[in-house]
Amino acid sequence: MKLKALLPPGPHGESGWVGRVLTTGVAVAVLATARPAAAWVWVVLLVTFAAFVVGSVLMTARPYVSLALLAPVAVSNALIAGYPQSNALVLVLVAITDIAVIDFGRRGNRPIIAVGIGVAAGYAGSAWWFGQPDTWYFSQLLWTAALTAFGLNRRQYEVQARQTEQLLEQTRLAQSEHARAATLEERGRIARDLHDVLAHSLGALSVQLEVAEALLEERGDTAGALERVRRSRRLAVQGLTEARDAVAALRADEVPELPAALAALAEQHEADHGTAVRLTVTGRQRLESGVTVALLGAAREALTNAAKHAAGQIVDMRLVYEDGVRLSVRTKGVTSGEGFGLAGMRERLALVGGTLTAGADGDDWLVVAEVD
């Protein structure tokens, strides 16, 4: 196993590893000034220092193995801390600090408390064995408590940083999924809008070409057939323009303002079917491109139904801006039913938060599209 694999992968890069290297350096510097008279004290210091180094390296990768190494370091050095000039306190402090930094998961602070009790008992035994005063004992406890608090604070900081990283990763995943869903939704909208536009244009174009064919075959009316072919050309051009408007709306490009687009649609309907369309606009408001295209589609479908099922009847179209926008198309002679493209109109309006109602209103047939 490479040493790199044992380094803490925490949110601070390798700052935890750097801190442990510095801590080890401080321990070495302090132990270098130790002057214990007994050789066995040197043996304890060297062996426990080696255990401390290994335990520090394994803190992240093997927390319980690290605890098994660091706990004896802290307790054994607490037992000899009262030996004159042993400087064993430094190993107690660095070991207890490392233990406090380790995240023991569900066990929480219980391992730290257990080691702390062992260290306190070790200080008491050392004070009795080597004849240290009570002030010495309480000063050792004070240093140990301070370094333990520092370690716990460091652990809390690292846990919060890891949680922040996890939250950021979850946020990135959620944003990615949201972007993917938005892309799929946009594709669906493009498909529906293009389907509606092309179905309307190609249907009208087919009708005009059939009439032109009938005029040529049955009556030999070249002039009439030519006029139908010209209408077919206008319908094809109009269909291409509407398709571009639909794509432009979905790409958030510029699309015509709704009153102007409705006026052009009414004019085209009058030219193609010889039926008057009365357009009334009340108020004025800038709409989102998607709303504009949806309302245009509803108006186009309503006019197509009027041409098919109420030929020659005047169409009354009203656009009102008041707490949103409301478009109504009224005509006579259309019977009720869901076969007039109403389902597609409702679906398109629902995508922009709108609603559509259709039904008889006295002797008239009324279609109303609203967007708040």
CATH number at residue 298: 3.30.565.10
The residue-averaged pLDDT of 188-201 equals 66
Q: Per-residue pLDDT for 250 more than 60?
A: no
Position 229 in a domain: yes
Encode burial over 46-72: b for 16+ CB neighbours within 10 A, e otherwise. Answer: eebbebbbebbbbbbeebeebbebbbb
**Residues 26, 127: one domain?**
yes
The residue-averaged pLDDT of 245-253 equals 57
CA distances from 275 to 50, 310, 311, 314, 361 (A): 99, 10, 8, 6, 21
Kind of pairing between the strands at 277-282 and 315-321: parallel
pLDDT at 8: 40
The residue-averaged pLDDT of 226-248 equals 70
Give the chain's domain count.
3
The residue-averaged pLDDT of 207-213 equals 75
Query: Could you tell me the pLDDT band of residue 264, with boundaries at 50, 70 and 90?
Result: confident
pLDDT at 13: 40
Q: In angstroms, rounded to a whole number, what is the distance separating the alpha carbons of residues 145 and 119?
A: 11
Q: Per-residue pLDDT for 180 more than 50?
A: yes
Higher pLDDT, 359 or 245: 359
Q: Per-residue pLDDT for 133 more than 80?
A: yes
Structural domain boundaries, residue 68? 14-132
Q: Is 39 exposed, middle or buried (0-12, 13-18, 19+ CB in 10 A)?
A: exposed
Q: Is 243 exposed, middle or buried (0-12, 13-18, 19+ CB in 10 A)?
A: middle
**Residues 241, 329: one domain?**
no
CA distances from 110 to 67, 92, 104, 233, 234 (A): 12, 18, 9, 85, 83
Position 296 in a domain: yes
pLDDT > 70 in the chain, percent: 79
**Residues 240, 320: one domain?**
no
| SS3 at position 231 | helix
Query: Could you tell me the pLDDT band of residue 355, with boundaries at 50, 70 and 90?
Result: confident
CA distances from 349 to 28, 246, 369 (A): 75, 14, 8
The domain that contains 242 carries what CATH number?
Answer: 1.20.5
Give every strand in the sheet of 277-282, ordered side by side. Answer: 277-282, 315-321, 325-332, 364-371, 354-361
Q: Per-residue pLDDT for 12 more than 80?
A: no
Residue 331 gets the label, from left (phi > 0), alpha (psi -120 to 50) or beta, of beta
Q: Mean pLDDT, the chain, as a whole number?
A: 77
pLDDT at 9: 40
The last residue of a domain, from among 115, 132, 149: 132
Position 27 in a domain: yes
Kind of pairing between the strands at 315-321 and 354-361: unpaired
Q: Per-residue pLDDT for 199 more than 70?
A: no
pLDDT at 142: 92
The residue-averaged pLDDT of 137-165 equals 82
**Helical axes 342-350 vs 289-309, angle rounded to 10°:** 170
**Residues 89, 118: one domain?**
yes
pLDDT at 262: 84
Position 72 in a domain: yes
Query: Could you tell me the pLDDT band of residue 11, with boundaries at 50, 70 and 90?
Result: very low
pLDDT at 5: 37
Min mean pLDDT across 14-18, 122-126, 240-244 is at 14-18
Higher pLDDT, 181 or 110: 110
The last residue of a domain, from among 227, 250, 273: 250
Position 225 in a domain: yes
Q: In angstroms, rounded to a whole number, what is the distance separating the alpha carbons of residues 140 and 88?
A: 11
The residue-averaged pLDDT of 183-199 equals 66
The residue-averaged pLDDT of 66-89 equals 88
Position 23 in a domain: yes
Torsion of CA 166, 172, 177, 178, to 10 degrees: 120
**Whole-model pTM?**
0.45
Q: Per-residue pLDDT for 169 more than 70?
A: yes
The residue-averaged pLDDT of 183-198 equals 66
pLDDT at 56: 84
Retrieve residue 232's tokens: 């077919």
Higher pLDDT, 207 or 31: 31
